[in-house]
Structure 1
Amino acid sequence: MSKKNRLNTAGKIQEHLKDLNRWSLYKKGMCETCEGLCCYMPVEIKTADLIRMGVLDEFHLELSLKEQIKEALKHPGVTRYTPSTEKFTLAQKPDSSCFFLDAHKRCTIYDKRPDTCRNHPKIGPRPNYCAYMKKEN
């Protein structure tokens, strides 16, 4: 895919994500034919998720919060910590996809994925709806 096509696709995805009225009521099996737009949304996670993902180890819980944050932010997959929510934000690639997606749009940490991902679309900007977009062949 050319750089121009990637940019057009990224723009189309962001436009679709922002328009919550275009989202579909979630039904079992939708993920199988979807482009996976949920993996293009910002993801906020807790320290427990970072431990499950292997970004932090259990012993980090013995450190001060400041030290935990410093350690987590060393990982390229974590971009920031928000004190008001006490959550970390996962990094996104230039096309807005999750840092943990591979070239085939597959999650590289699926078995260890954060609770935010596990619970989508039950939680999110429009609970029980998803930004479903049919895969282009």
Structure 2
Amino acid sequence: MSKKNTPGKIQEHLKDLNRWLPYKKGMCDTCEGLCCYMPVEVMTPDLIRLGILAEFHLELSEKEQIKDALRHPGVLRYTPSTSKFTLTQKPDGSCFFLDANKRCTQYETRPDTCRNHPKIGPRPGFCAYMKKE
């Protein structure tokens, strides 16, 4: 992230859906990666793919799955009404799984939410594109 694109500027940009652009192939190549600054909701299969939970967790009760998932620093909370977990964000708002170079450390096993962005999200088909500076 450049000095001009501060965490505050990124959060402001994310909240203003009118600033989002229709997604086009190749946009990610020059983007600051604002999608990695959005809250990520995931399901149990995503946590298994990420290695946060193991296959055997599927045989346990939902309560035990939730308890074990919440022990991982990458999982912030569980929302019973949606049956979804929310991944932790770093103090700058970025995803727990981004490295120092702002690259996803779990790209091959990333959650469905990330795989399907921007088809799904706050404004489907649109991206919170912000040019790298």
TM-score with structure 1 setting the length:
0.94
Considering fraction of residues, name the structure with more helix: 1
1:52 paired residue number: 49
Question: Cα offset for 1:79?
Answer: 0.5
Q: Which runs of 5+ in 2 are unaligned?
A: none
Aligned sequence identity (%): 81
Q: Deviations over 1:34-77 (max 9, x none)?
A: 00000000000000000001000000111110000000000000
Question: What's the Cα RMSD here?
Answer: 1.3
Quick one: which of 104, 107, 126 aligns to 1:107?
104
Question: Cα offset for 1:26?
Answer: 0.1
Quick one: which of 121, 126, 133 aligns to 2:123?
126
SS for the counterpart of 1:89 is strand
SS for the counterpart of 2:6 is helix
In structure 2, distance between residues paired with 1:10 and 1:51: 30
In structure 2, distance between residues paired with 1:24 and 1:101: 24
2:80 paired residue number: 83
2:26 paired residue number: 29
In structure 2, distance between residues paired with 1:120 and 1:126: 10
Runs of 4+ in 1 over 4 A off after TM superposition: none
1:94 paired residue number: 91
2:40 paired residue number: 43
In structure 1, distance between residues paired with 2:94 and 2:21: 20
1:116 paired residue number: 113
